[in-house]
Amino acid sequence: MAFTLPALPYAPAALEPHIDALTMQIHHDKHHQAYVDNLNKAVAGTPNENKSLEDLVSIAGTLPPAIRNNGGGHWNHSFFWLIIGPNAGGKPSGKLSESIDADFGSFDAFKEKFALAGMGRFGSGWAWLVEQDGKLLISSTPNQDNPLMDIAEVKGTPILGVDVWEHAYYLKYQNRRADYLAAFWNIVNWKEVNKRYEASL
């Protein structure tokens, strides 16, 4: 069964002024679509054709680069559209808030460490907040890798992630990745992030 592009769950302009509508349109309609199309091409007629996206991602290190890269791209973007959204930002609540304080010292200390992971990723990739055996960790991955992959340095359940490929911010922020990462806090859908954290435990 072929993989398909999930609809963006809000209008492309809904994240203005933090992420501009054109960036969202191109990012979803062109970049994410290309990952889906290229993933379908890469698995067609192979034994990987009938595997789920989660299964492919979990064995990415053993698969051809086209499946690792485009499967990761499809998983990462499907996740990303959900953990950001309109009328968002603010702070996490409940157990996640307590765990962030326990594992990072404070919400502000967590935000700083997460932004550093995004800034420190040379070239293209992602920064992540990962749940691993009950502990929260921050990591970053190159290209379209993610913490669910067998080859990830830090493995676990992604709770929050930010795309630091230039295609995610260049039209509005140009070379200013730090400004994009600062604006990111205004669009984090903590309700979704909380839900994923509690489901991971």
| Residue 17: cis peptide before it, omega within 30 degrees of 0 | yes
Tell the smallest beta-carbon distance from residue 144 to Mn ion (Å): 8
Nearest to 69 by CA among 3, 142, 140: 142
8 A C-beta contact, residue 140 and residue 118: yes
Answer for the pair 59, 77: CB distance below 8 angstroms, yes or no: no
Least separation in angstroms between CB 143 and Mn ion: 11
The residue (of 104 and 114) whose beta carbon lies closer to Mn ion is 114
Q: Taking CB under 5 A as the rule, does residue 145 contact Mn ion?
A: no
Binding-site size, Mn ion (CB under 5 A):
3
Interface with Mn ion (CB under 5 A), residue from 35, 163, 173, 196? 163
For Mn ion, give the closer residue by CB, 36 or 96: 36
Stretch that binds Mn ion, among 58-66, 104-112, 117-125, 160-168 (CB under 5 A): 160-168
Q: Using CA atoms, how far apart are residues 157 and 137, in angstroms rounded to an integer? A: 10
Among residue numbers 165 through 194, which ones bind Mn ion (CB under 5 A)?
165, 168
Distance CA 191, CA 92 (A): 8
Instruction: Name the residue whose CB lies closest to Mn ion.
Output: 163
CB 154 within 8 A of CB 13: no
Of 23 and 99, the one with the shorter C-beta distance to Mn ion is 23
Residues that bind Mn ion (CB under 5 A): 163, 165, 168
